[in-house]
Structure formats: structure tokens, C-alpha cells
Structure 1
Amino acid sequence: MLLKTSVIALTLTAQSALAEGELNIFTWGNYTSPELIEKFESTYDVKVTLTEYDSNDAALAKVKAGGHGFDIVVPTHSFVPVFISEGLLLETRPDQMENFSNVDPRWVDVDWDPGRHYTVPYQWGTTGVLVHTGTYDGDINTSAVFLDPPEELKGQINVVPEMQDVMNLAIFYYGGEMCTDDLTLLKKVRDGMLEAKKDWIGIDYPAFEKFINEDILGSVFWNGASMRIRADNPNFAYGYPKEGYPVWQDTIAVLKDARNPENAKLFQNFVMDPENAALISNFGRYANGTIGSEPFMDPDLIGAPELVIPEGLEDAGYFTELCAPETQELYTRIWTEIQK
């Protein structure tokens, strides 16, 4: 009995020591539930520090440069294969973690991380357009909002600095398919965006207050962020471009050079708990990948127009993917020209 008690004591001590310390998370701006972080910190006696970025490209570049000190990164699904192929992620085997049984079956064995050896689902959603319908009362389910702006919105349109989303929206609008390398079509995309840019106020990830205060009246934006803005200014509505719109999932991954890998693994398991997944959705206003989270989610999320795709537009959504390197280079050159 004494030996058994000693073993239990040693085990508890080891777990406690494992959980103490720090966790440094590199993630999207204004995306992480403070309540989730506070709960994790109090549960495991771990101090969490958040550092924010505004695009997948920026996150990848920072991580590749090294010397960052981050433990966790939150890449969109299409960037996960790049992080893996570059040797930037630790194989943490989320599929063997206690809470993995809560993951929705549709997210268990995914193309970007077969069998889920590296990543866990975080939030998923769509990229469309956010429009102030008190100013513009026309069709908002179209990328013409930013590519052929109506007179009412000119000079007050923003485009987020996320190349994959914006390029895909533009390619769909001009009649192309994801990862097209059709130079004639890509020239049309480039010329169209350069012309439309004259009516944009910026290429930025602006503070939500700029929308709420109506300094910006239209934008390429994400559905959950759009819902948060509508909560403070009901004149805004989210549109699903009928020409085509990206669908994505953000993931929680542990970096290969993490200084606190065990705490990072604890966080991966933590977010797959239904109550914790609900905290994520309640703040971000996106869907999560965890079964059983709905009873803990805010009632206004259920049936929200930003989360329920309008009838007839369901098939216009496409899961994003990174293209062949040579095609990706074409997109980067176009995007670099647009940002000048």
C-alpha cells in the first residue's frame, strides 16, 4: 500500500511539474477567447502569452526565420502541409489524446493532416464580404462588392491581407477554378484587382471599431468576425459570393522547436473538450470541430446568418488548398503587385 501511494504521489508530482510554467501561442489577431485562456491557466498553472499575426504567410515566414520562442501556431488547414514538409511541426499525435474522441468524424482523417498526427481542429468558417446594408441595399452575395464596387461603397472598402482568400475570391469572380494557372485569366484577375483597388480604402485587418463606427462600409471578411461586428452594428450583413467563396479550418499545431512542448500538448487536448470548444466559438463566433459543444454555445450562434449558408449557395463554397509551387509563385507575384 505504501509503495502504491508513493507511486501515485510521484505521478501527481510529475504531472504537476509538467504543467507548470509557460505557453507561448502565435495566432490570429483578436481570435482567442480570454475566458478559454484564463481557464487553461488556472487548470494547469501555466502562464499563457499570445502573439498575433494577420496572415498565414506572415506566420509561416516568422516561424521559418527561427528564434521566435513560440510553442503553438494556428495555421489554416491549407498551410498545414507546408509547415509539415518544412519540418516545422512536432508530431504530437492528437489522435491518441484523451479528448480526440470528441472530434467530429468529418474532421478526423483530413487531407492536410491524415489521421491527425500533428493538428487538432480549432475553428472553421468561410470568407466572403461584409457590407453596410444601410448604405448599400443591392446584392451582397457577390465579390463585385470589392471587385466592381457599387458607387455607394467606393472609397470605403477594405480587403484583408490574406492572399489565398482574396486571390481565390477574385479567381472565382472572373470565372476561374482554384489553383488555375491560366495566364489569360490570371491577367484578368490582376488587372481587375488593380482597377478595383482605386476604390479601396486599404488592404488591412482593421480594428472592429472601424466597422462599428462606420469608417469602413464594405470588406472582404470572415463570417465569424462579421457576426461580432453585426452584434454591435446591425446595419452590417455578411454575404456569400455566388461566384465562389473559400471554406477553411484553422488548426492548433505544436512547433518543432517549442520550448514548452508538454504544455502545448495539454492545450491541444484542452481545446477538444466540448465545453472548451464552446468557449472558442462563443468568442470567435465560428463553428468548431467538436461534437457535444452545442449545448454550451451561445443560443444566438444557432441559426445565425453568418453560419447558415443561404439556400442555393451551398455548392459555391470550396475548401481552400495550396497550389503547385509554380502556380503559387504566380499568385504571389500578382498579390505583391496589388499590395504596392
Structure 2
Amino acid sequence: MKKILLSTAATLAFAGAAQAEGKLNLYVWSDSIAPELIEKFAKENDVEVTVDGFNSNEDLLTKLQAGASGYDLVTPSQHFVKIMVDQGLLEDIDAHDLAAYAQVDEKWRGQWWDPENDYSIPLAYGTAGYTVNRDIYDGPVDSWATYFEAPEALKGKIASLNYPDEVVGAAQLYLGVEFCSEDPAEMKKVYDLLAAQKPDVAVFASDNIENRIGSGEVGAHFWWDGNSLKTRKNDGAPIEFAMPKEGLVGWLDSMVVPAGAANVDNAKAFIDFMSTPENATIQYNYYAHSSPVALDLDKAEYTPENAPELFPTVPVEFSRACSPAAQDLVTKVWTQLLQ
């Protein structure tokens, strides 16, 4: 657990949000929130902020399903927002009435995972694809074929995630299988592709990716756009984020409040705080994923010229909340794969 405790005798309220006091317990994607914003919110609002990280939506869902998580704000991706709403795991915070809602780009309002904008305010969006180390592999990266059917230079040097969600989605894009398919024959094609790839997979892991791909320990890694961008720019790693013609898997993470949270008002205050143009720009520059809320463009660091990872030139298909029958097939594919 990363814990920040900061108190001030005289606190400062930020525009458009109520003063908060007490505690705020966050459970967010690992290393996803700019530390300076955590510190700033804590100082301005006399709040003790704790931050824990997760590496998959599945881990987050399991935590909330267990009950009494102790968290006040979490950041699931769009399809998991829908699952959590349907399972009664989230507080209805009337998100459409928050100051943050006015900052949200119109295209992200009224989406299928939260059509009335009752539960969520978006935090970041981007794509899942694969990154190659150019010291290991210097061939084309314009198709998922490079990842799923490894050329000689990548044999035994592929790395995958340790959960099925986006990996299965990418395989479906490559094969032309629809997301959320309930057809066992179609999902058998997905399994066959992943099973044939498995001998070339050095590791299934969702952490320490930047070191694994940046150092050349592996030559290709399933990864996310902004993470690849930061490792390329900040670490000078010889890597490239692929733009496969079959498309990338899209995601959008939102700020939501777990049902029964103890500090709902502080969670709402944090959502408003994160969504101001000033703070959203700080977050954008730190996290290096696209922002669904308004930015101060004069201070935004990433552009199509210096950050092509964030500006896809291929189709993007967003993950969906599947039926139980479809999800069972995904689980079956992954379970059999890892046996």
C-alpha cells in the first residue's frame, strides 16, 4: 500500500468542489494516478489518502465481489463498469450532477456501460496492442500476425498478459471473430491460435512489462499504448507500439465508487478535482493515456507528432460486457490454454 498523509491547518478548496475532510482510499490501476495530484488533493482538502494498485479488471472485480473492500474510489474499464453496475457493486453517485461531468467530452457521455451517467466519470482511454523491441525484431508490425504467429526472430520471445480480457479480444480481431461470440466453433479458432502461439510465449505476466520489453528480455509484449510511449520516451527504450491493420482493442477507465464506501463525499470531491482542466492535464502528462475530459492544450505534452502511440491509425474496437455464455467461453479458452 502506498500511503500519503498530508494535513494543513488552513486548507484550500478547489473551484467547483466541496471541501473534504477525513480519509480517501483509492484502488486504481498500478501507477496510474500522478503522485503530485494525490499530494495536492491531500494538502488542499486535509484528507489522508491511501493508494493501492491492481493489474487487471478481474482482480478489481474479485475484490469488490468479496465485499467490505474498504475502498472509496476504483477505476474499472468500461465493460467492467457495466458488470459492476449489474451486480450492485457500485454507488449511484448521480455523476451527471458533478462538476466533473461538464468537463467530459460529449462522445463519452451516455455510453452503454452507464447510459444515464449515474455511476461513472471517465478518467483515461486508450488501446491495447503489442510492442516490439527493435533490437530483437526489425520486421513489420502492421498486423497481429507478427504477435500471434511469431517470425523466427520472435520465437520463444513473446510475452502475454496473465488474464484473458484484451488478449482474447486481440485474437478475435485477428481472426475476424466477433467480440462476445457465443459460438463454440468460433471460440475454438481463438483457442487454437493461442495454443499454437504458446510455445513462443516466454511468460504470461501483467507487471514489470517495461523492464521486460525495454531490456530485450523479450522481443514482443502485449501492452498498452501510453505505457509503451512512456518507456520509449522516458527510458529511451528501442521499442515500437504496433498498429495492426486488423485493429486495436480499446478501453476506457472510469472513476466509480464501490457500494457501501465510507467516504463517498471525498470520492466525489476527488472526481471533480481530477477533472479540472489543470489537473486533467497534469494527469495526462503523467499517465500518457488519452484524456476524455477537457485539457489545457497549451500545457499538454503529447501530440500526434511526438506520441503516435496515442493517436491510432487503425480501427479500435472497444471491449464489451459479454453474456454469461460468451464469458464462459472466454474463461474456458484461457483455462485450457494455461493448463
TM-score by length of 1: 0.89
Matches of 2:65 and 2:207 in 1, distance apart?
Answer: 26
The runs of 4+ residues in structure 1 deviating greater than 4 Å are 299-303
1:38-187 to 2 correspondences below 5 Å: 38-187=39-188
Change (3 A) 1:328 1:228: same
Please state which structure has a larger fraction of its residues in helix: 1
Alignment root-mean-square deviation, CA: 1.9
- Displacement of 1:267 in angstroms is 0.9
Matches of 2:321 and 2:101 in 1, distance apart?
Answer: 26
Partner residue of 1:253 out of 252, 256, 273: 256
- Displacement of 1:100 in angstroms is 2.1
Q: Within the alignment, does 1:305 sit opposite 2:305 as a pair?
A: no
- Displacement of 1:307 in angstroms is 1.1
Matches of 2:305 and 2:46 in 1, distance apart?
Answer: 33
Partner SS state of residue 254, structure 1: coil
Partner residue of 1:209 out of 208, 211, 214: 211
1:290-301 to 2 correspondences below 5 Å: 290-299=293-302
Opposite residue 217 of structure 2, the aligned amino acid is: D
Residues 226 and 288, structure 2, Cα contact 8 Å, conserved in 1:
yes
Other-structure match for 1:8: none
- Displacement of 1:317 in angstroms is 1.4
Change (3 A) 1:154 1:107: same
Opposite residue 79 of structure 2, the aligned amino acid is: S
Task: Give ranges in structure 1 of 5+ residues lacking alignment.
Answer: 1-11
- Displacement of 1:155 in angstroms is 2.0
Q: Within the alignment, does 1:36 sit opposite 2:29 as a pair?
A: no
Task: Give ranges in structure 2 of 5+ residues lacking alignment.
Answer: 1-12
Which deviations, in whole Å up to 9, do the C-alpha atoms of 1:168-223 show, x marking residues without a partner?
Answer: 11112122121222322211211221121111111111312222222222111110
Other-structure match for 1:199: 200
How many pairs are equivalent?
A: 322
Q: Within the alignment, does 1:262 sit opposite 2:262 as a pair?
A: no
Matches of 1:246 and 1:58 in 2, distance apart?
Answer: 19
Residues 230 and 236, structure 1, Cα contact 8 Å, conserved in 2:
yes
Residues 252 and 268, structure 1, Cα contact 8 Å, conserved in 2:
yes
Opposite residue 310 of structure 2, the aligned amino acid is: L
Which deviations, in whole Å up to 9, do the C-alpha atoms of 1:16-73 show, x marking residues without a partner?
Answer: 9962221111111222211121111111111211111111111101111013211111
Question: Which protein shows a greater Rg?
Answer: 1
TM-score by length of 2: 0.90
Partner residue of 1:272 out of 260, 270, 275: 275
Change (3 A) 1:271 1:235: same
Q: Which moved more, 1:276-285 or 1:153-162?
A: 153-162
Partner SS state of residue 19, structure 1: coil
Matches of 1:188 and 1:98 in 2, distance apart?
Answer: 47
Matches of 1:296 and 1:283 in 2, distance apart?
Answer: 12
Opposite residue 326 of structure 2, the aligned amino acid is: T
- Displacement of 1:301 in angstroms is 7.0
Other-structure match for 2:335: 336
Matches of 1:243 and 1:101 in 2, distance apart?
Answer: 35
Change (3 A) 1:74 1:332: same
Residues 56 and 162, structure 1, Cα contact 8 Å, conserved in 2:
no
Partner SS state of residue 288, structure 1: coil
Matches of 1:26 and 1:269 in 2, distance apart?
Answer: 17
Matches of 2:24 and 2:304 in 1, distance apart?
Answer: 30
Change (3 A) 1:317 1:153: same
Which deviations, in whole Å up to 9, do the C-alpha atoms of 1:78-127 show, x marking residues without a partner?
Answer: 11111111111111112111232111111122111113111001000011
Residues 133 and 214, structure 2, Cα contact 8 Å, conserved in 1:
no
Identity of aligned residues (%): 32
Partner SS state of residue 48, structure 1: strand
Other-structure match for 2:220: 218
- Displacement of 1:249 in angstroms is 0.5
Matches of 2:335 and 2:46 in 1, distance apart?
Answer: 44
